[in-house]
Amino acid sequence: MQPKELLPHLFRTEYQKIVAVLCRLFGIEHIEIAEDIVSDTFLSATENWSLKGLPDNPAAWLYTVAKNKTKNYLKHDTIFKQKLSPEIKYTTDSTGEIEIDLSTKNIADSQLAMIFTVCNPVIPAESQVALALNLLCGFGIQEITDAFLANKEIIYKRISRAKEKLKEAGIQIKQPTLNEINNRLENVLTTVYLLFSEGYYSTSQNITLRHDLCAEAMRLNFLLIENPATNTPAVNALFALMCFHASRFEARTNDDGAMVLYEDQDESLWDKDLINQGIYYLNQASTGTTLTKYHLEAGIAYWHTIKEDTAEKWENILQLYNNLLIMEYSPIAALNRTFALAKTNGKQAAIAEAEKLNLSNNHFYYSLLGNLYTGIDNPKALQHYETAVKLATSASDKATIAININRLKQYQNQ
């Protein structure tokens, strides 16, 4: 693999790990210093690797350079040394030098401490999630903008103000207490959920599926499972949801990167081990009396791992959507529900429900109507598909809709 191909992947997987460790070491008031050191590390990698080629262990190279840059910064910045937190002062080796611990355990501990620090009630909930996505997950402003359906200026201001609020409040980066976990876990899970969602269906990149984002979300989720204090039913339900979705990744896109429709997916490509993992964690999530949207969405995802088109399957999916909409209404969830309704109550009933939503700026809405009208009013179905193509922004979505249009034309010619 060439440096220009590997570096973006390493940036996604390693950048936020090193930042979390340095933020925990320096304190929340020095976030920018931590980010600058790690950014400079990646700049050095870009320059060095393009000249000398890839090192034997690129991640270890990044860690070593980040450690050295941190030590050099601490040695030469007298003002900063005078303001060192007690944690830094006592984190030294036998020579008196600062010890930068980038072990797997300390990275995990630092990221857990960071995500609960960022999800602090001193800043608004939407700002908590935006800052966590930026600082802990490596999301750029555009990706966060797409996740929130907002604009860049708003997201930039949210992140900047959130950092300032944490500094002003003197928040320390430390392992969360049980009370902090109870109060902040919902926003932590929202962050992880949004990270996986952006990977599962990327709206900010001209690509349908981003495996690196999904893998990072699952890694962060598993950190929560491994910690007894955060190993709750909701955490297990979210992990089950991601396992079920991830099990179909290999079948979800073709060799050209275009999305493969569910009914066309090669079931032999589905990852049975991930499906079994999902079932295990969904069972773990069933303990206690807590029911969350993650339980319901995991249930829907589970039934989609059963390819057979049975009445039982679609009736269960429909009921799960009904409960999901009662718990937390979403226009997209309501739209997805109409497909299950078509399977159980027929297309006419589904069309009536779908048209009530009137999601006139959403290409999925018109694509679904195209599907529902096929065989009932084919000219109208074609009209809806053509509107969907105009509204779709990614080449992958346009290609998927084009497949449906071709099928409809073939159906009409029969």
Mean pLDDT of 101-128: 87
pLDDT band at 77 (very low <50, low <70, confident <90, very high): low
Please state the separation of Cα 194 from the chain's center in Å. Answer: 4
> Would you state the structure tokens that stand for residue 106, as one six-digit string?
């300390």
Answer with the residue of higher pLDDT: 312 or 404.
312
For 308-320, write each residue's pLDDT tens digit: 999 999 999 999 9
The stretch 30-38 carries a mean pLDDT of 90
Which tens digits make up the pLDDT trace of 213-246?
788 889 889 999 999 999 999 999 999 999 999 9
pLDDT at 84: 53
Average pLDDT, the chain: 87
Per-residue pLDDT band for 252 (boundaries 50, 70, 90) equals: confident
Tell me the pTM.
0.82
Which one of 24-33, 91-100, 205-214, 315-324 scores highest in mean pLDDT? Answer: 315-324
pLDDT > 90? residue 142? no
Give percent of the chain with pLDDT exceeding 70: 90
In this prediction, residues 120-146 reach a mean pLDDT of 82
Residues found in the chain: 414
Listed by start position, the domains of the chain span: 232-307
- The least confident of 240-249, 369-378, 392-401 is 392-401
pLDDT of residue 90: 39
Q: What is the largest CA-CA distance in the chain?
A: 82
pLDDT by residue (tens digit) across 163-202? 999 988 888 888 888 998 988 899 899 888 988 887 777 6
What are the phi and psi torsion angles at 346 (to 5°)? 100, 160
Residue 114 pLDDT greater than 60, yes or no:
yes
What pLDDT score was predicted for residue 86?
A: 47
Write b or e for each residue in 371-396: b if 16 or more Cβ atoms lie within 10 A of its Cβ, otherwise e. Answer: bbbbeeeeeebbebbebbbebbebeb
Tell me: pLDDT of 98 over 80.
no
Closest CA to 36 of 50, 22, 49, 24: 22
Mean pLDDT of 270-292: 95
Q: Regarding predicted confidence, which is higher, 407 or 211?
A: 407
Residue-level pLDDT at 94: 47
